[in-house]
Amino acid sequence: MAHLLMVESWVGSMSRLLPRAIREGGHEFTFLTRDLHHYLRSAPEGVAHPLLGARNVITSDTNDTDLLLPEIERLHEVLRFDGVITSCDYYLPTAARIAGHLGLPGSSPEAVESACRKDATRRVLADAGVPGPRFAVHAEWADIVRAAREIGYPLVVKPVDLCAGMYVRRVDDEEQLAAAVRVLSDFPVNARGQSREPAVLLEELMDGPEVSVETVSHAGAVHVVGVTDKSVGGAPAFIETGHMFPAALPAADAEAAEQTALAALKALGLVDGVVAHTEIKLTSAGPRLVEVNPRPAGNRITELVRHVTGIDLAAAFVEVSLGREPDLRRSDTGLCSAAIGFLVPQRSGTLESLDGGELRGAPGVLEVELAVPGAQVEAAGSNNEYLGHVMAGDAEGLGARDRVEVLLGELRSGLVIR
């Protein structure tokens, strides 16, 4: 039995999948957080949050790594950690620094920090020759305007240090650029109480469909598990509306995406102790890197992979965080494809009606998770405002996405927001 230190977590599905994977692997974990109530608030009433299954729950200021490291040293002397793990992007660099400080498995803190900062990722990959969009990074308005003119409209405005598509916007002119920068500057602290970097990343708007490459890195080798497709809506925002695994791509396109992801991970140095989710645009000029996420994919993509291949990416994440070789053997699950579609609210208000009861148990349906009537709804501006999702599989081929779209249409017909 191994003992992991888990430094914070997302509050979504990975906050359940990762504790389960640790437990099913025969291991245990200590949960370190600055605010336990952040997680307890997200648990359904009367249900104990899976994170409370930790051997120990310790409260400390996880936002101050310099003060945290000596405290972790003292804890390590008593509790003896075998690895450090987190699913939350905002604490991936912290976990990497702790692992490096204690001499535990994992990629270098520098590699993880570069992957978690969109501007650093762009610079590292540009220097390595990994294809991506034209870009610029500036904090002052005069510099931002000049760079936007040089890149050319339309372009994409991004924060360098946020997740889930937050404040990522397409802008078509200087007026829209000013509005996007202003809104971003009004969000100086993220949801975890961390001060944000004021720099703005400007990128050329890339054409073509977007996919992600799911990989596992161990002992200097990067293993490709597969390619997932992505549908995006909510313009001028970029909201993920659904995914399918495996992506319905010609073999040459899938191979090109995989090779681009491998080049990016190797350039960043993410070749050990990492499960990564690398996003790529298949543009008319060839594959272009969007971003590298040095943690398992969100939005239930890990479950799509598991349903089709039998590979548990959460379990693989646990094993590589312990310096152990993960089990990446495929098994016959009976499914050729699995897809998920998200119910994205177009307006704010109170959810009056949303009935998915008839979908549960319908042919091919794997999951249905929906908000309950009475919930307060915000018009979606990122991947954080979904009203729920439907997941379905196809045992015959790549028809899972079409099945999900039909099911989502049925849900939308009964959706009422006042």
Helix (H) or strand (E) holding 96, with range, is helix 92-102
- Indicate which CATH number applies to the domain containing 75: 3.40.50.20
188 and 196 Cβ atoms separated by less than 8 Å: yes
Residue 45 lies in a domain: yes
191 and 163 Cβ atoms separated by less than 8 Å: no
Confidence band, pLDDT 50/70/90 cuts, at residue 44: low
398 and 335 Cβ atoms separated by less than 8 Å: no
Q: Are residues 197 and 219 in the same domain?
A: no
Confidence band, pLDDT 50/70/90 cuts, at residue 361: confident
pLDDT 10s digits, 386-409: 999 999 999 999 999 999 999 998
Q: Are residues 148 and 60 in the same domain?
A: no
Query: Quick one: 321 exposed, middle or buried, by C-beta within 10 A (0-12, 13-18, 19+)?
Result: buried
- State how many domains the chain has: 4
* Separation of alpha carbons 125 and 115, rounded Å: 10
Per-residue model confidence (pLDDT) at position 45? 62
Q: Given a cut of 80, is residue 82 above it in pLDDT? A: yes
Q: Are residues 285 and 352 in the same domain?
A: no
Q: Are residues 249 and 355 in the same domain?
A: no
* Separation of alpha carbons 389 and 375, rounded Å: 16
Shortest CA distance to 169 belongs to which of 232, 92, 229, 263?
A: 232
Q: Are residues 81 and 196 in the same domain?
A: no
pLDDT 10s digits, 96-153: 999 999 999 999 999 999 999 999 999 999 999 999 999 999 999 999 999 999 999 9
Confidence band, pLDDT 50/70/90 cuts, at residue 172: very high
* Separation of alpha carbons 199 and 135, rounded Å: 13
Instruction: Provide φ and ψ at 350, rounded to 5°.
Output: -115, 130
Per-residue model confidence (pLDDT) at position 414? 80
* CA distances (Å), origin 289, targets 26, 143, 190, 212, 361: 37, 24, 25, 10, 39
Q: Are residues 247 and 297 in the same domain?
A: yes
Average pLDDT score over residue span 81-101? 97
Choice between 153 and 414, residue whose per-residue pLDDT is larger: 153
Residue 321 lies in a domain: yes
pLDDT 10s digits, 205-225: 999 999 999 999 999 999 999
Tell whether the torsion through CA atoms of 343, 238, 209 and 291 is positive or negative. Answer: negative
Residue 346 lies in a domain: yes
Q: Are residues 200 and 219 in the same domain?
A: no
Token pair of 45, please?
């009433």
- CB atoms < 10 A from the CB of 195, how many? 10
Token pair of 87, please?
């699913």
Q: Are residues 277 and 356 in the same domain?
A: no
Last-in-domain residue among 189, 204, 219: 204
Q: Which of 11-15, 236-240, 311-315 has the lowest mean pLDDT?
A: 11-15
Q: Are residues 239 and 301 in the same domain?
A: yes
- Indicate which CATH number applies to the domain containing 176: 3.30.1490.20
Q: Are residues 8 and 77 in the same domain?
A: yes
Q: Given a cut of 90, is residue 60 above it in pLDDT? A: yes
Q: Given a cut of 90, is residue 372 above it in pLDDT? A: no
Q: Which residue has the tokens 């604490």?
A: 91
Amino acid code (one letter) for 148: A
Residue 123 lies in a domain: no
Q: Given a cut of 70, is residue 340 above it in pLDDT? A: yes
Token pair of 192, please?
């975890």
Per-residue model confidence (pLDDT) at position 43? 66
Residue 121 lies in a domain: no
Q: Are residues 159 and 173 in the same domain?
A: yes
Q: Given a cut of 90, is residue 255 above it in pLDDT? A: yes
Per-residue model confidence (pLDDT) at position 412? 86
Residue 191 lies in a domain: yes
Q: Name the residue range of residue 358's domain.
A: 337-418
- Give start and end residues of each alpha helix (H) in 205-350: 251-268, 301-309, 313-321
Shortest CA distance to 276 belongs to which of 255, 291, 256?
A: 291
- Indicate which CATH number applies to the domain containing 248: 3.30.470.20
Residue 158 lies in a domain: yes
- Give residue 355's Cα distance to chain centre: 28
Q: Are residues 174 and 71 in the same domain?
A: no
pLDDT 10s digits, 285-309: 999 999 999 999 999 999 999 999 9
Residue 114 lies in a domain: no
Last-in-domain residue among 333, 351, 368: 333
* CA distances (Å), origin 258, targets 94, 165, 222, 285, 329: 28, 23, 11, 16, 19
253 and 208 Cβ atoms separated by less than 8 Å: no
**Buried/exposed code over 384-397 (b: 16+ C-beta within 10 A; e: otherwise):** ebbbbbbbbbbeee
Strand order in the sheet with 3-7: 56-59, 28-33, 3-7, 83-85
What's the mean pLDDT when you consider all of the chain?
A: 95
63 and 194 Cβ atoms separated by less than 8 Å: yes
Average pLDDT score over residue span 245-255? 97
Rg for the chain, CA atoms, rounded: 21
Shortest CA distance to 236 belongs to which of 179, 284, 283?
A: 179
Per-residue model confidence (pLDDT) at position 360? 82
Q: Given a cut of 80, is residue 356 above it in pLDDT? A: no
Q: Which residue has the tokens 């009935």?
A: 355
Q: How many helices, marked H, and strands, marked E, lie in the chain? A: 12, 19
Last-in-domain residue among 295, 316, 333: 333
Per-residue model confidence (pLDDT) at position 39? 86
- Indicate which CATH number applies to the domain containing 346: 3.90.1170.30
Pairing label, strands 200-204, 155-159: antiparallel
